[in-house]
Copies of this chain bind each other. A is one copy, B any other.
Amino acid sequence: MASLSANDYLNKYFPQFELALKEKLAQHTSIKTFETGELMMQPGQYFRSTMLVVAGKVKLYRQGEDGGEFFMYYLEPGNACALSLICATKQETSEVMAKAVEKTTVLSIPIEIMDDLVRNYKTWYYFTLETYRNRFEELLQVIDSVAFKGLDERLMFYLKKQAEKLNTKQLPLTHQEIAADLNSSREVISRLLKKIEQRGDVILHRNYVEWLK
């Protein structure tokens, strides 16, 4: 695949941006890529730029003091990292981990032009609001599932979200990985998956789970 220019990416994944904004961004952004598994962001790190995802997939998760993980949500092409929008502007540090789960490409926007963008490009301003709102709501959903539901329901919620985001019924997840994302243990997840399989909502295979709904 021939590599695309910033302008190509903007046209494809950010069509709602006004023309002048796309031109401005094309002039000032640089394209960065991350390999599968590469850490893009970690607690305590400062931002010097904000990032628009244009290829791949980024996993955002919280890290517990004991080293445990807790999955929050994915970012896909067309998304921006809400935290980098905030932190870049205010020069504060991040509180979450971001990891590329596929080879990922981002447009890197230097913080110097953020002020200009928000002030002079209406579609940028709406985009940032939209971004905040979407991430906020995803966090609220995560809170819901942890606060009000048992592990079995959380697991269903998790699998459903994976099927939607990965856009396939064959979820390439081991029980161990699922357990890590839900901050639980492998055995418990295995048992719950069995129960869900007996109910007919999934079929279990080696190295993947088939989602039937």
Residue of B nearest to A133 (CB): B86
A62-B136 contact given A86-B129, A90-B129, CB 8 Å threshold: no
Which listed residue, B133, B143, B148, touches A66 by the CB 8 Å rule? B148
- Cβ–Cβ < 8 Å partners of A92 in chain B: 133
Min CB gap A133→B, angstroms: 4
Tell me the bound Cα distance from A212 to B86 in angstroms: 36
Is B95 within 8 A of A64, CB to CB?
no
The yes or no answer to A68 lying at the interface (CB within 8 A) is: yes
In contact, B129 and A70 (Cβ under 8 angstroms): no
Tell me if A187 counts as interface (CB < 8 A to partner B): no
A147 and B137 CA atoms in complex are apart in Å by 17
Question: In the complex, A146 Cα to B72 Cα: how many Å?
Answer: 13
A143 and B62 contacting across the interface, CB-CB below 8 Å: yes
Q: Which size bracket describes the interface of A in this complex? A: 35 or more
Q: A135 CA to B95 CA in the complex, in Å? A: 13
Q: Is A19 an interface residue (CB 8 A)?
A: no
A153 to chain B, nearest CB (A): 11
- Binary B-proximity of A128-157 (CB < 8 A = 1, otherwise 0): 011011011101101110111000000000
* Nearest-Cβ distance from residue A8 to partner chain B, whole angstroms: 29
Q: State A135–B82 Cα separation when bound (angstroms).
A: 12
A187 to chain B, nearest CB (A): 19
Listed A/B pairs (28) with beta-carbon separation below 8 Å: A62-B143, A62-B144, A64-B147, A65-B148, A66-B148, A68-B147, A68-B148, A70-B143, A70-B144, A70-B147, A70-B148, A82-B132, A82-B136, A86-B129, A87-B133, A90-B130, A92-B133, A95-B137, A95-B140, A96-B140, A118-B118, A118-B125, A119-B119, A119-B125, A135-B136, A139-B139, A143-B146, A146-B146
Contact residues of A with B, CB < 8 Å?
62, 64-66, 68, 70, 72, 82-83, 86-87, 89-90, 92, 95-96, 118-119, 125, 129-130, 132-133, 135-137, 139-140, 142-144, 146-148, 183
